[in-house]
Amino acid sequence: MPKKILLLTTGGTIASAPTAQGLAPAIGSDDITEKIAPIASLYQVTARDILHLDSSNIQPEEWRLIAREIYAGASGYDGIVVTHGTDTMAYTACILSFLLRNIPIPVVFTGSQLPLLHPLTDAMDNLRAAFAMAASGAPGVFVAFNRKIILGSRAVKVRTTGFDAFESVNAPYAGSVNSAGLDLNHAVLPKPKGPFFLDDAMENSVFLIKLTPGLDPQIFDMLLQMKYRGIVLEAFGAGGLHFIHRDLVSKLHKIVEHGISVVVCSQCLYERSDFSLYQTGKKVLENGAIPGWDMTTEAAVTKLIWALGHTHDSAKIREIFATDYVGEIHLPKTQ
């Protein structure tokens, strides 16, 4: 019996066509299913348009819409494929990993670097992998791209034009497509820890700062005035912030005292931050910042948005960041 797959389309490059203003979403689910008929014929496919947006315009309001569409359809299908623009796909896949708690079926995001209508498109390969993963029975939220399957909580877009646009950062691939077909890494696949439910409380008052030498600490005063509730700070290396000439550490202490949760991670793409190694990092922890360890920036930002939707209590936010929900973090063994 062919697996029942729900295809949800949101726009993006995969659905785009040339216009006078440049590429823009132009085709819908009917066009896509017709174009991918050889792939769709292997499954029982139901296709539905939910958005027609460049992914730069997909924001928390759209995350909630996508999550609710998936939640509503999950019980009737073996798996769900979501086509999405590549620019913010990693953010969407990551936040939905938190919103769709204990999802019992595969939800697979994919897209392309060239439109589906382009003769050299990479969309067909990506859709083949996405449908195969959606039919695999492995629960969780994933990104399928360039014959790789990546946990939604670990995907990062690392190239703007190359077909190998996404990488799994600080975690092995969840699977790959090779001569054996779809080859899953079961050690990486998330395991549901309870009943499936929609957990879509979010608060979007989170600001991301990439630390640069000489950054003026007054930026934090401005964020305080703007009533931000959370900050993700990409520090140097394993975890360094300057406190000579311009004292960022004291300023962090001030905003933490005002109830703002500050998550600090590394601006290095690979490996973990460890703020216990150096004097500068230890000062950060002593002043109340929350370590992000090996989380991606996308995961740190979306997890904080999700956490703030549930509580403004800094201690509880810290507990949430000391918990691995969907493979988004490798905590040190002492945790």
Catalytic residue numbers read 13
C-alpha 118/C-alpha 222 separation (Å) is: 46
Q: Where are the alpha helices (DSSP H) in the chain?
A: 29-35, 37-40, 60-73, 89-99, 123-134, 218-225, 248-257, 279-286, 297-308, 314-321
Q: Are 70 and 80 contacting, i.e. CB atoms less than 8 angstroms apart? A: yes
The count of other CB atoms within 10 Å of the CB of residue 324 is 15
User: 301: closest CA among 157, 203, 169, 160?
Assistant: 203
Pairing of strands 197-198, 100-101: antiparallel
Q: Tokens in use for 297?
A: 């920036």
CA distance 68 to 239: 37
Provide the pairing of β-strand 206-210 with 230-235: parallel
Q: What is the DSSP letter of 75?
A: G
Nearest to 238 by CA among 199, 211, 205, 202: 211
